[in-house]
Chain A
Amino acid sequence: MELALSDDQVQILDAIDTLAKPYASVPIHDISFALTSAELTRELAEGGFLDVAAMEELGPETAALVVERLARLPFAVEAAASALVRPLLDSELPRPLCLIEEGALGRAVRYLAPGATVVMVGSGGVRSFVATADHVAEAHDESIFAYPMAVLKAQPAEADLRQYNVPASEVLTQWRIGLAAEASGLMAAALAATVTYTSERKQFGLPIATFQALRHRLAEAQVVTNGAYWMTMKAAATRDSGDAALAALHAQEAARRVTYDFHQFLGAMGMTLEHPLHLWTYRLKALTSELGGRGANALAAAEAIWG
């Protein structure tokens, strides 16, 4: 048992904080529903932060830490699939990586755009292709989930898909770990933003965070957010399919529990684009539907634990 971060891990997270400093807040007057930065993404890739999983002394657990930390930024960065799944397949695959379950044609996919690598996982194994404009439906609406998203309308012929020898189950495990790591960071950031707001906002002459009706629910949010972090770290360390399914399940349960509360506590401010809360909470909403949602992750966990 060793549950503290290594010196290397602390240094990597510090380096991310330094690099991401200019991106730690929302540009003034920006009211994007999905905030992204090509510059930030480029800097992270060049700094090798998304490739730490392949380094033996760092591994998936450091990758999960990186994903969790980046998810706290208001800017969306495709980190989870790149940091946790790409090393299993081919570390040169063009980014961003879009993970989809087989048969997901017609669904909106996070970060999907021409040039992205689409990785399909399912009973047919693990296959990928690089998306072109032919595969991606024109975005007629902005995403409703605070991620850049587009609908996958077509895929190449079977013969044109790249097939991998990696079992689908391994990819699913890393996907779940990435999902849990990202959700943990999103919840931590959303909680912090809500704590700040409720500590400053006064009604009846007092900060509204002095009222127990909010305090206890915020404290419960801290409990489940902290839990999501530890479940993620355990799954990343053990790489066990049951641990990963439990981590994803807990993250989705927790996300569901906190997102409406956070907006509620901001009152009408929580309905605006002026406050950045939605950048984290609406990403959380997107993550709660991934991998079949809570029910499917729970079934995967039950299968792994009890058979």
Chain B
Amino acid sequence: MNFDWTPEHQAFRERLRAFLKAELPDNWESIAHHGPGSAEITAFSRQFCGRLAAAGMLFPHWPVSMGGKGLDAWYQTILAEEMWAAGEPRGAQYMNVNWIGPTLMKYGSEQQKKTLLPPIVAGNAIWCQGFSEPNSGSDLASLRTRAVLDAGEYVINGQKIWTSYAGLADNCFLLTRTSDDRKRGITILIVPMDTPGITVRQIPSIIGEGDIHEVFFDDVIVPESARFGDEGQAWEIISYSLRNERLGIPRYHLARAALDRAVALLKARGDWKGEAVKIEAAKAAALTETARNACYAIVDKRVKEQPIGPEASTARYNVVMAERAVSEFVVEYLPQALIDAEPYLKMHHQRGIVAGIASGAAEIQLNIIATEVLELPREAR
């Protein structure tokens, strides 16, 4: 085993850092302060991602046929680590790079590829994913937003909730019900967010701005060509696309960066003394590094094109523990005013709650581990 970066990987990281240093404005912290889903970062990202693309670093891991450089998944990991550690100037566009672009390439019609890929490649496309509904959270396959095909058009009625980035998105990757078959009755439609009949309402939250919304669909009409894949193919497509999304945000890295920042502040204040604070900081670091290693083990498999199994759930649960531990440390040892004044600590404090809920609740991860890793007999339902 070797846990060192290759010189090429390290050089890529250095290039990213230099790029960020050159491209982020002096007032970047005041923009980053609002969070990745905010109007401020979204507007910034439409410029920033274009420049990142021009520098060849928006999607280095995409195949050459897609305009990428065909580099291994470690580059995607390094890219994510550096961007998130800098406050994620890509805003919501990280999703495009991680899965929307590759999914469009794999399953999209020629027309969809022609119209939808160029803005993504240019770094100027905001997407949202219309998945969860008020009564379909962990049990996603029970979703009920209905799409009825009538004379070459789909008429959509229903409601989505918790939809990240919906307020500013150009398009929605929408899961709809087209028949009663639980999983095979779900169909993907790509819906422009300015289509009449769509109402978006931001939900006031404790996790930052622009992150969670309700989206209402009242007789929203899209052409049949908005269908993505075949009718009933949604479950297959999202299972493929989201395989890696549980690790989409390098939360272990963010958590460790926040922890290091917290320790630096404690030292500057003369509060890095006594055993208690050091013991608790080390415990939090043990969790961030455990999570990092568990996530890296999965990236290593992706690089080797080995199938990713339930170990992604193990890694994700490690990440949940790490995020919480760092948040708890920050709250316990730093004064409120300092947390509030430090954008990244504040973001961590606000978002420590997210890891256990987004992309599949922590309890769902435990269910997967119990059944698929430990192979316990299935629970009675």
Interface residues of A, Cβ cutoff 8 Å to B: 1-5, 61, 191, 195, 198-199, 206-207, 209-212, 215-216, 218-220, 222-224, 226-228, 230-231, 233-234, 236-238, 243, 245-246, 249-250, 253, 294-295, 297-299, 301-303, 305-306
Contact = CB atoms under 8 A, between A and B. Distances in A.
Contact of B282 (A215, A228, A301): A301
Interface in B224-283: 260, 263, 267, 272, 275, 278-283
A298 B278 contact: yes
Nearest to A4: B300
B366 A246 contact: no
Report which residue of B9, B363, B365, B369 has the largest number of chain A beta carbons within 10 angstroms of its beta carbon. Answer: B369
Given A1-B3, A2-B2, A238-B3, A198 B376 contact: yes
Contacts of A230: 290, 293-294, 297
Given A209-B376, A222-B373, A1 B290 contact: no
List the 8 shortest-distance A-B pairs measured between CB atoms, nearest first. A230-B293, A227-B290, A298-B282, A302-B278, A219-B369, A219-B366, A301-B282, A215-B370
Given A206-B380, A222-B374, A234-B293, A305 B282 contact: yes
B111 interface: no
A1 B5 contact: yes
Interface of B: 1-6, 9, 74, 260, 263, 267, 272, 275, 278-283, 285-287, 289-291, 293-294, 296-297, 299-300, 303-304, 311, 314, 317-318, 321, 363, 365-367, 369-370, 373-380
Report which residue of B6, B275, B374 has the largest number of chain A beta carbons within 10 angstroms of its beta carbon. Answer: B374
Contact of A299 (B4, B272, B278, B289): B278
Nearest to B321: A223
B43 to A, nearest CB: 36
A231 B290 contact: yes
Contact of A220 (B275, B286, B317): B317
Nearest to B288: A246
Given A302-B281, A306-B263, 13 more contacts: A1-B6, A1-B300, A206-B380, A216-B363, A218-B374, A227-B291, A230-B290, A234-B3, A246-B282, A246-B286, A249-B282, A298-B282, A299-B279
A127 B36 CA distance: 56
Contact of A302 (B279, B300, B380): B279
B3 A223 contact: no
Contacts of B303: 1
B374 A299 contact: no
A199 B275 contact: no
Contacts of A226: 294, 311, 314, 318
Contact of B286 (A61, A207, A209, A231): A231
Nearest to B369: A219
A251 to B, nearest CB: 9
Nearest to A194: B374
Contact of B304 (A4, A218, A227, A237): A4
Contacts of B378: 210
A295 B279 contact: yes
19 contacts: A1-B6, A1-B74, A1-B300, A4-B1, A4-B300, A207-B376, A207-B377, A209-B376, A219-B374, A223-B317, A228-B290, A230-B290, A231-B290, A245-B282, A246-B285, A297-B282, A302-B278, A302-B282, A306-B267
Contact of A195 (B286, B300, B367, B376): B376
B316 to A, nearest CB: 9
Contact of B369 (A222, A227, A237): A222
Contacts of A237: 1-3
A227 B366 contact: no
A233 B297 CA distance: 11
Given A210-B377, A227-B318, A237-B1, A253 B285 contact: no
Contacts of A4: 1, 300, 304
A233 B290 CA distance: 11
Contacts of A233: 1, 293
Contacts of B279: 294-295, 298-299, 302
Contacts of A243: 289
Contacts of B289: 231, 234, 243, 246, 250
Contacts of B282: 245-246, 249, 297-299, 301-302, 305
A237 B374 CA distance: 27
Nearest to A2: B2
Contacts of B272: 306
Contact of A3 (B296, B314, B375): B296
A222 B368 CA distance: 12
Contacts of A207: 376-377
B367 to A, nearest CB: 7
Given A222-B369, A231-B290, A250-B290, A1 B281 contact: no
Contacts of B365: 219
A259 B289 CA distance: 23
Given A1-B4, A1-B5, A306-B272, A253 B283 contact: yes
A5 to B, nearest CB: 7
B217 to A, nearest CB: 35
A241 to B, nearest CB: 13
A61 B278 contact: no
B1 A215 contact: no
A299 B289 CA distance: 16
Contacts of A294: 279, 283
Nearest to B298: A3
Nearest to B320: A223
Report which residue of B6, B280, B283, B290 has the largest number of chain A beta carbons within 10 angstroms of its beta carbon. Answer: B290
A293 B97 CA distance: 44
Contacts of A299: 275, 278-279, 282
Contacts of A215: 366-367, 370, 376, 379
